[in-house]
A and B are shown apart, each in its own frame.
Chain A
Amino acid sequence: MSTARLGRYVAWQTLDFLRERGLAIALILSALTLAAGMIGAEGPEAGFSGAAGLVRLSRFTLSLVTSISLLFLVVGFNGLCSADRTQGFARFYFAKPVDPSAFYGLKWLVHAVGLGAIVLAWTGTLAAVYGPYDAAATLVAFGLRLMLYGGLFFLLSVLLSAEVAAFSGLYLGGELAKLLADDRAWARTAVTWAFPWHRLTELDALLEKGAALPLDAVLHVTGTGLGALVLGLVLLRRRRLVT
């Protein structure tokens, strides 16, 4: 029963995602691409036309995703649960016969699919404009980030109301541990297990070369995100739903 109700509610969640986040992300992505295209139009060396241009386009989309997609993911996932809790919207939602884990799990899925669809549409539009190019590395790089950061943001949103600040702390902690990893064992352990961003860097380098990705690194990144997502869903059943 609850699944059927939430299935009907997905349409509203999708509409909310598009209105509140999706359109803004799509516009920023389009503006950045347009700017790059215009800069490229200044000379044949930098443009996206022709065989060499399509290789440049492939590198451009990959570099854009690896450099700024975290920003889109922050916009896409921020406040997923915490906003309803702190602003009080959860009170009416969960007076209805609704399982909070199912409600937010589905909301997370809507946002993840929505973000994926935007990137897919973006690469598809570029292919339509400039010609077929290799966007696989771009899509894989985005997918890895979607799983890792999306899962972590979800967990933080269940636990806290300031998840961006908390995530920034985690991110900086990971970077700091990476700096100290050569000298300190605890930092090496932290880098290996707790903060898998360094695996993303490894994977990005391989994607750029067009090399095969090691399964353990892919599983480390996606597993961390998935684990955080599942933990968040479990904690939703135990955490207070309103503040």
Chain B
Amino acid sequence: MLLGFLAPDTGRVRLDGLAPRAFVEREGVGYLSELVAIPREWRLVDALRRYAVLDGVPEAELAPAVEAAIARLGLEEHRGKKIKQLSKGNAQRVALAQALLRPHRLVVLDEPTHGLDPVWTQRFRALVHELRDPGRAILIASHNLDELERVADRVAILDHGRVQRIVDVRAGAGAPTAGRWRVVVADGAAALAAHWPDAREVGSATWELDVADLPTFNRTLGAAIAAGLVVRQVGPAESGLERQFREAVGGVAP
């Protein structure tokens, strides 16, 4: 709907005061769709040239823009390949490259890390960081809450087609200070059990316990460490965003 591909059943969409198609046809949008559809017979470099032409990249800047996009997404070794020869992850990177051929005021990325390997998932975060600009809105649609918590400023939780809640991740509004926490024990689990009689072992050397507030939790943890507990890792059992999501959509606690 933001790009005017579909019309809303009710209400209206406006971008900078314009109907979506008028906005898109005026300045374009950096768009990555969930379904990556690029003609399979096109060569990677030609695909980016075509999209750059349509995106209005001037002829003189076309080759540098395409080469920059290829380098930015690490596609140098695949540049001569046809789209059908690329893996899902590489095709996803081509799709991301075409969205970033030219700076846009609006960038819409639908499930951007879908199909990316861990290295490129991490690189994607850096890309989003590079794209951050006061004059640019970046909208990411994702089911990956961990990813969103790392890259987004605000997260709108949608359920049944409606915004259920908007979480301000920057303000730390989602960071839990109480609830269920998880402690990974390196040694001295008996000391942990002694200080938290209700603690449950949920995996190999991983314990879950209920935290009422952070000061009490820190004091008790300190006492347990003094009694011989060696901690490898400690943190909330679910992220603040996960908790907010569960609350917003009425899900059951893990």
Contacts and interface: CB of A to CB of B under 8 A. Distances in A.
Given A9-B53, A241-B4, A95 B37 contact: no
B56 A12 contact: no
B24 A94 contact: yes
> For this complex, into which size category does the number of interface residues on chain B fall?
20 to 34
Contacts of B4: 94, 241
Contacts, number: 72
Given A95-B28, A97-B25, A88 B56 contact: no
B39 A89 contact: yes
Contacts of A2: 25
Given A9-B53, A89-B39, A92-B51, A97 B28 contact: yes
Given A94-B5, A99-B25, A240-B7, A88 B53 contact: no
A34 B131 CA distance: 60
Nearest to B7: A240
A95 B3 contact: yes
A67 interface: no
Contacts of B3: 94-95
Interface in B48-80: 50-51, 53-56, 59
Interface string B211-250: 0000000000000000000000000000000000000000
B102 to A, nearest CB: 9
B163 interface: no
B53 A8 contact: yes
30 contacts: A8-B59, A9-B54, A12-B50, A19-B41, A87-B37, A87-B39, A88-B33, A89-B38, A90-B5, A91-B31, A91-B35, A91-B37, A92-B33, A92-B38, A92-B51, A92-B95, A92-B98, A93-B54, A94-B24, A95-B3, A95-B30, A95-B31, A95-B99, A95-B108, A96-B56, A98-B25, A237-B21, A241-B4, A241-B5, A242-B5
Given A9-B53, A88-B37, A240-B5, A95 B25 contact: no
Contacts of A19: 41
Given A1-B56, A97-B27, 4 more contacts: A91-B35, A91-B37, A237-B21, A242-B5
Interface in B1-35: 3-7, 21, 24-31, 33, 35
A89 B33 CA distance: 10
Given A97-B24, A97-B28, A241-B4, A92 B37 contact: yes
Contact of B51 (A8, A87, A96, A242): A96
B33 A96 contact: no
Nearest to B40: A87
Nearest to B108: A95
A5 interface: yes
Interface of B: 3-7, 21, 24-31, 33, 35, 37-39, 41, 50-51, 53-56, 59, 95, 98-99, 108
Given A95-B28, A241-B5, A12 B53 contact: yes
B111 to A, nearest CB: 13
A112 B26 CA distance: 29
A19 B82 CA distance: 15
Interface in A1-33: 1-2, 5, 8-9, 12, 19
A12 B39 CA distance: 13
Contact of A91 (B21, B30, B33, B59): B33
Contacts of B95: 92
Given A5-B53, A95-B31, A242 B25 contact: no
B108 to A, nearest CB: 8
